[in-house]
Amino acid sequence: MNDGGERTGADASDGDAASGGLAAALTRRRLTIGGTLFVLAGLFVALRDVDVGTVLAEISAADPRLLAAAVAVYAVSWPLRGRRYGDVLAAMERRTGTAFCTAAVFVSQTANLAIPARAGDAVRAYVMETRRDVPYTAGFASLAVERVFDLATIAALAGLATAWLAATGAAGPLEIAAEAGGARTALAAAAAVSTATVGVGFVVVTASRTDHGLGARLRTRAVGRPRLERALEAALGFAGDVQVVARQPRAVARIGAGSLLIWAFDVLTAVLVLAALGSGLALGPLLAVGTLAVSVGNLAKVLPLSQGGVGLYEAAFTALVVALTPVGAGTALAAAIVDHALKNGVTLVGGAGAVAALGLSVSDATAAEPTRETDSILGSPKR
């Protein structure tokens, strides 16, 4: 007799089917596509009063020489990215040439434009494992280190730009948050990402300088459970590789300097685009506002709410430029679109060349699944 406290077999199977159907429906790709459409709809609502004809006219009237300079500046930043990634690997005692590292970075960043939720990072770990014998966990650890330095550098640049604006009386932090109404979501996301980055960095540095024996205790508890043991070894190998870098002050300083140079070139690219579209701003305000707009836009698009950060970046960039300068919404949006498109275009061209140079194929890229034997995002355990 079923008194209501138990489910019948049919009820259970129906529930399982329903949960399975929900899981099948909420795939990462569908969530990302949905997020992209949601962000684009929000961008449309926020900028519904902007004349599309004005935006197109601004783009068509841009100074081609300054745009060419922007492309050249952004292209130069890529070998710097490769050099920095080589420095990260060298700190892990896995030395690889700058040219190969640059190609690997190009491939993964290109894949991130096409694969939802930044899953293209798995492609770089796969390339490093198959072409340079870098264990999968070490490949992901090197990516984690790179991401932390990226986010910390962007957050620092945003802080410096905000401090400069406050010191010159242009706008303080509260005024920026109040005036940039169209970018409040991006500002909130940027603040959350910055706070999380600082927290993660503190935990990693602190853990790297203490011997707490946590790994040994976890291994003891996992004894006799092979799947858990494999996943645990992968996680501990990942954490160990990250901490190796944190224990080397010279490596941290070198990677940090490289990150600052990379993002300075990224900001300079956006500043040149703004100048190409005739913003009319003096050099000081142009650099400060360009730095803040690029920083907030990039911090916001870290959250995988849209494919390739499309919509989030443009909304943050446009709202901040309009709020802090006399530049019109049409010009600001045109600059945001051109800046993002220019950077994505360079990435795609470089990625295509890197794929050809490395002899990769679509089947190779799809083989870079982050879940393999361990069912863990870290893949197979460290060799």
**CA 70, CA 269: separation in Å to the nearest integer?**
5
Three-state secondary-structure class, residue 325: coil
Residue 245: the pLDDT is 84
Euclidean distance between CA atoms 188 and 267, whole angstroms: 21
Q: What is the pLDDT of residue 159?
A: 87
| Lowest-confidence region among 284-293, 341-350, 368-377 | 368-377
The residue ranking higher by pLDDT, 21 or 259, is: 259
Per-residue confidence (pLDDT) for residue 24, from 0 to 100: 44
Report the distance separating Cα 225 and Cα 141, nearest Å: 25
The rounded radius of gyration (Å) of the Cα atoms in the chain is 23
> Whose CA is closest to 111, among 120, 103, 102, 119?
120
At 128, the pLDDT band (50, 70, 90 cuts) reads very high
Q: Is the pLDDT of residue 191 over 90?
A: no
**For residue 377, pLDDT beyond 80:** no
DSSP string across 181-225: GGGHHHHHHHHHHHHHHHHHHHHHHHHHT----HHHHHHHHHTT-
Which pLDDT does position 270 carry in this prediction?
A: 94
Mean pLDDT for the stretch of residues 92-120: 85
Lowest-confidence range among 9-13, 99-103, 157-161?
9-13
Grade residue 208 by pLDDT with cuts at 50, 70 and 90: low
Q: Average pLDDT for residues 263-274, to the nearest whole number?
A: 95
Identify the helix (H) or strand (E) that includes residue 95. none
- Residue that wins the pLDDT comparison between 203 and 162: 162
Long-range contacts of 348-351 (CB under 8 A, 24+ apart): 348/110, 348/113, 350/75, 350/78, 350/106, 350/110, 351/106, 351/107, 351/109, 351/110, 351/111, 351/113
Structure tokens at 225: 């459970």
Q: Measure the CA–CA gap between 51 and 275, rounded to whole angstroms.
A: 21
pLDDT band at 233 (very low <50, low <70, confident <90, very high): low
> Taking a C-beta distance cutoff of 8 angstroms, is the pair 137, 378 a contact?
yes
Q: Is it the case that residue 318 has pLDDT exceeding 90?
A: no
Most confident of 211-220, 324-333, 354-363: 324-333
Cβ–Cβ < 8 Å for 61, 278: yes
Which single residue is written with the structure tokens 């600082």? Answer: 198
Sorting pLDDT into bands at 50, 70 and 90, what band is 207? Answer: low
pLDDT, mean of residues 67-78: 96
Q: How far apart are CA 311 and CA 309, in angstroms?
A: 6
Those residues with Cβ within 8 angstroms of residue 83's Cβ, 6 or more apart along the chain or in another chain: 98, 101, 102, 258
In eight-state DSSP terms, residue 361 is -
The predicted pLDDT at position 379 comes to 39
* pLDDT at 228 > cutoff 60: yes
- pLDDT (0 to 100) of residue 376: 37
pLDDT in the model for residue 84: 96
On the question of pLDDT at 154 being above 60, the answer is: yes
Spatial neighbors of 196 by CB under 8 A, at least 6 apart, are: none
Give the whole-angstrom CA distance, residue 212 versus residue 206: 11
Average pLDDT, the chain: 75
Residue 32: C-alpha distances to residues 36, 113, 144, 279, 308 (Å):
6, 12, 21, 34, 10
For residue range 20-70, list pLDDT tens digits in order.
Answer: 444 444 454 554 455 445 444 544 544 444 556 667 787 888 899 999 999
Angstrom distance (rounded) from CA 78 to CA 326? 33
Are 27 and 237 in contact by the 8 Å Cβ rule? The answer is no
Q: Average pLDDT, stretch 213-224?
A: 62
Quote the CA–CA distance of 50 and 52 in Å, as a whole number. Answer: 6
Q: How many CB atoms lie within 10 A of CB 340?
A: 21
Model pLDDT, residue 87 = 95
